[in-house]
Amino acid sequence: HNGTFWAIDYHGSFSRDLDVLGVDIYPGFAGGPAERPHWHAWYCDTTRGKAGNFIVPELQGGPGGQLGYFHDNLEPGEMRQQVWTSVARGADMVLH
């Protein structure tokens, strides 16, 4: 499962048969480069708190979005920082 949603009780019946919890991280939703490291760490910590170790099945490494909005590019070195932040905060896997 990849997603952390507010309306789900991750400590209840939802997680009983769940093998692993993942969180998709799209840094562009966090705003600019100054906000992204804090936002990313918060998502990793929140997911780890719900499930123990976790995976990051989608980590956006470049501009993305859809009609109506597009995220900016990450700064040089920012992708590496986010991967290591994920691992340091408990991620067993990170995919781009």
Give CA–CA dist 72/53, Å, rounded. Answer: 29
Q: What single-letter amino acid sits at 22?
A: G
Model pTM?
0.82
Q: If we measure between CA atoms, which residue out of 79, 76, 92, 67 comes closest to residue 27?
A: 79
pLDDT tens sequence across 33-72: 899 999 999 989 988 988 888 999 988 887 777 777 777 8
pLDDT (0 to 100) of residue 73: 83
pLDDT of residue 42: 92
Per the CB < 8 A criterion, the answer to whether 20 and 42 are in contact is: no
How do residues 12-30 score in pLDDT, each as one tens digit? 777 777 788 889 888 878 8
* Of 29 and 86, the one with more pLDDT: 86
